[in-house]
Structure 1
């Protein structure tokens, strides 16, 4: 990870805006894979698998610490994101079963 030295507030905002665009794209990409995962599961309980959720959160917390970011912040963000994506995956699962 390389942080550029900025020489103005506008430059800082440019880098932040660029990162926000990339973050949104990555979240959309993650959501696409989550939706695909529904095809490989047999039940809604499989989608809500507690062990997998805990593994994701543990990994995120570890990575946050490696990058010097608050693990609590990332856990909160991921909890919101994962909860929403689980609902999306459940919808995908139910739609596929209703065809």
Structure 2
């Protein structure tokens, strides 16, 4: 992704706001797919999928380094996001089973 050169603080903030909107939209889309994944799983242990989480974290760490972003920052953010999304997926799973 190309970062444009800005000529004022307002311009910088405008770009950041636009990126934040995109990030939120992408996280919402990711969450939607995570909830759908509950339909294909058979147990809460399968939802927790430690191997999958490790794989995601490894990929995120690698991408962070590729883009010159702190791997610790991104893995911390992803850990928080994944924990919350796993809880949402468990809720979806339990709701589907109770129908």
CA distance, structure 2, for counterparts of residue 27 and residue 19 of structure 1: 12
The normalised TM-score by structure 2 is 1.00
CA distance, structure 2, for counterparts of residue 49 and residue 75 of structure 1: 17
Deviation at 1:34, TM superposition (A): 0.1
* Superposition pairs of residues 38-53 of structure 1, within 5 angstroms: 38-53=38-53
Gaps of 5+ in 1: none
Gaps of 5+ in 2: none
Match of 1:88 in 2: 88
Match of 1:32 in 2: 32
After TM superposition, the runs of 4+ consecutive aligned structure 1 residues lying more than 6 A away are none
The normalised TM-score by structure 1 is 1.00
Deviation at 1:38, TM superposition (A): 0.1
Deviation at 1:47, TM superposition (A): 0.3
CA distance, structure 1, for counterparts of residue 3 and residue 53 of structure 2: 31
Aligned residue pairs, count: 99
